[in-house]
Amino acid sequence: MEALLSAIPWGPVLILLPLAAGIVCFVFPSTAKTVGLLTVTLVPLAVAGLGWRLLAHGVYHHAIGGWGAPLGIDLQADGLSLLMLAMTAVVGFGVSLYATGYFKAEKSGRFWPLWLFLLAALNALFLSGDLFNLYVTLEMIGLAAVAMTALEGARGALVGAMRYLLATLVGSLAYLLGVALLYHGYGTVDLGLLAARVTPSPAAWAALGLMSAGLILKTALFPLHFWLPRAHASAPAPVSALLSALVVKGSFYILLRLWLEIFSPMSGGVAGLLGLLGGAAVLWGSSQALRQTRVKLLVAYSTVAQVGYLFLAFPLAAGMGLTAWSAVVYLAVSHALAKAAMFLAAGNLMRFGGHDRIVDLDRVVQRLPLTAGAFALAGVSIMGLPPSGGFNGKWLLLQAAVTQGRWDIVGVVVIGGLLAAGYIFKVLGHTFTQADVPHEPIAVPARMQWAAVLLAGGAILLGFLAPPFLALLAVGNPFAAGGAGS
């Protein structure tokens, strides 16, 4: 049994399985739902297999084609990759469950191939150890995400998708230019080899700037967040969940890897800049969210704010690397679960009342208790109240900030939490009230409500799972490379 588990190439399986399923769904649209659900059930099992392999044998490494870097492409996975893959698998399962109830027949045949290819691309991204390969996966993700955003053809969605596509293409090209400079400067695009070879030089600085700028544009860090609110708000609900929860984390993951492995000796001032932008994102996103009148736009601005938290850790990493980076990963994973749950709940609200205006939410607590509960639980994690994954992440972040005397960051986190409480309770408050003009309710399928509850519960559950989470994160010591860790 153990020999079998060791022999299975978990990395390629995680990539090829959704690819094959996507192709089957494309050629035979009538089978789309079945094949899709089967795949998203198998992918978490494969992630578990990879996790077993990591715990038993250490860092996972797979040289594609047998050539090995720098000639070939390497797949590699450590604790950080595993947690990202697990996040993708769990959120993917919940959203897929929701999607089986959400999409009608004709759109279903379009959604499933796109989503399965997106899943394959995300898995390929988290497993890749080659910068150019990461570019191709970024493009896969971008095109799939844009196509899904425009799926239902609403006017707002089309404009949002167009803006998203233009932004993502510019970001990818900036990233690719950075890769070109690194290749021509150091002769390889493999992450591990570059980590050893890169020295501060004009080409490396230019590459750092370009790649960071491109990835920040794709992760929607303030002030390059302009494309996100309308794209995420006008997409169909399950697509919004995937975009906010998973897609922005992909480009963030690449930035994190580049930072940790290659650019850490040069980071200094750039880290401070990222922290500043992160703080601005938290304050701006949260205050914009407070001003919104529609649920989905509110949740989308909340994503802008939460992405800012991820960048607050960069200036803290110099002193207390392990705590700061653990905070980042905790926040990223909890946000994925919580934000997906919120978007799914918002989708239920829209399906129920035909609209998502906050003031006109009509006795949702009585008539859609599961959805209101899911939104509340997810809100707990977003606000950072115990017990939840969001709380653990913020706690670690505050710990790192206080120990280093960074009271400005502490202030931003506290104010951000208060503003988050403001916009969460704004929505929750209106779920208790009756609207001026009562609406005829449209039934929301049970699985759609339970999917939202499942994901929100996951965000809360993460609050209790700190020891295993941090233990998994430490496999392969991702934060020690390059001297950024403590």
191 and 70 Cβ atoms separated by less than 8 Å: no
Select 30 or 403, whichever has its Cβ closest to other proteins. 30
Gap between the Cα atoms of 211 and 188, Å rounded: 16
Select 44 or 209, whichever has its Cβ closest to other proteins. 209
CB-based contacts of 435: which residues, under 8 Å, 6+ apart?
359, 360, 361, 362, 363
Select 166 or 418, whichever has its Cβ closest to other proteins. 166
Smallest separation (angstroms) from other proteins to the CB of 298:
18
Other CB atoms within 10 Å distance of the CB of residue 438: 11
Smallest separation (angstroms) from other proteins to the CB of 84:
18
Select 143 or 465, whichever has its Cβ closest to other proteins. 143
168 and 142 Cβ atoms separated by less than 8 Å: yes
Smallest separation (angstroms) from other proteins to the CB of 201:
7
Smallest separation (angstroms) from other proteins to the CB of 296:
17
Structure-token pair, residue 269: 């001032």
CA dist 358 to 295, 309, 317, Å? 6, 26, 39
Gap between the Cα atoms of 241 and 303, Å rounded: 11
Smallest separation (angstroms) from other proteins to the CB of 66:
4
Select 110 or 339, whichever has its Cβ closest to other proteins. 110
* Closest listed residue to residue 327, CA positions, set 415, 409, 418: 409
* Closest listed residue to residue 356, CA positions, set 426, 419, 297: 297
Select 42 or 143, whichever has its Cβ closest to other proteins. 143
Smallest separation (angstroms) from other proteins to the CB of 28:
8
CB-based contacts of 445: which residues, under 8 Å, 6+ apart?
101
Cross-strand pairs, 128: 75
Q: What is the DSSP letter of 61?
A: E
Strands 60-63, 74-77: pairing is: antiparallel
Select 159 or 480, whichever has its Cβ closest to other proteins. 159
CA dist 84 to 52, 228, 413, Å? 15, 21, 24
The C-alpha angle 418, 423, 426, rounded to 5 degrees, equals 120
Smallest separation (angstroms) from other proteins to the CB of 221:
14
Select 20 or 42, whichever has its Cβ closest to other proteins. 20
Structure-token pair, residue 88: 């993708």
Select 184 or 291, whichever has its Cβ closest to other proteins. 184
Gap between the Cα atoms of 455 and 421, Å rounded: 20
304 and 284 Cβ atoms separated by less than 8 Å: yes
Select 61 or 367, whichever has its Cβ closest to other proteins. 61
85 and 123 Cβ atoms separated by less than 8 Å: yes
Secondary structure class of 191 (helix, strand, coil): helix
Select 110 or 335, whichever has its Cβ closest to other proteins. 110
Smallest separation (angstroms) from other proteins to the CB of 63:
6
Alpha helix stretches (DSSP H) within 58-190: 79-102, 105-127, 131-149, 155-186
146 and 164 Cβ atoms separated by less than 8 Å: yes
Smallest separation (angstroms) from other proteins to the CB of 413:
29
Other CB atoms within 10 Å distance of the CB of residue 414: 13
Smallest separation (angstroms) from other proteins to the CB of 125:
10
CA dist 370 to 138, 226, 337, 405, 439, Å? 35, 33, 16, 42, 19
Smallest separation (angstroms) from other proteins to the CB of 167:
8
Smallest separation (angstroms) from other proteins to the CB of 339:
23
Helix (H) or strand (E) holding 427: helix 407-432
Select 201 or 434, whichever has its Cβ closest to other proteins. 201
